[in-house]
Amino acid sequence: MGRMDGKVVIVTGGAGGIGAAASKLIASAGGAVVVADLSETGQAVADDIVASGGSAVFRRLDVTDERSWAAVVESTVAELGHLDVLVNNAGITDTRGIAETTAESWNRMVAIDQWGVMLGLKHCAPAIKAAGGGSIVNLSSIAGLIATPGSSIAYSGAKGAVRLMTKFAAVELAKDGIRVNSVHPGRVDTEMVADQTDWKKEYMLERTPLGRNAAPVEIAYGILFLASSESSYITGTELVIDGGFTAQ
| DSSP for 107-132, written as a single string | HHHIIIIIIHHHHHHHHHHHHHHHTT
3-state class of 211 per DSSP? coil
pLDDT of 167 above 90: yes
Residue 2 lies in a domain: no
15-71, pLDDT tens digit by residue?
Answer: 999 999 999 999 999 999 999 999 999 999 999 999 999 999 999 999 999 999 999
Average pLDDT score, the chain: 95
Question: Could you tell me the CA-to-CA distances from 234 to 164, 179, 180, 210, 226 in Å, in that order?
Answer: 16, 7, 8, 26, 8
pLDDT of 241 above 70: yes
Residue 201's pLDDT is 76
Task: Calculate mean pLDDT across residues 232-242.
Answer: 98
Work out the percent of the chain whose per-residue pLDDT is above 90.
90
Residue 225 lies in a domain: yes
Q: Whose CA is closest to 116, among 128, 104, 124?
A: 124
Please compute Rg for the chain using Cα positions: 17
Neighbours of 64 (CB within 10 A): 16
Residue 194's pLDDT is 61
pLDDT of 198 above 80: no
Neighbours of 23 (CB within 10 A): 34
Active site residue 155: yes
Residue 246 lies in a domain: no
Residue 229 lies in a domain: yes
Residue 155 lies in a domain: yes
- Domain range holding 186? 8-239
Residue 1 lies in a domain: no
Number of domains in the chain: 1
* The dihedral sign for the CA sequence 181, 63, 144, 139: positive
CATH number, domain with residue 136: 3.40.50.720
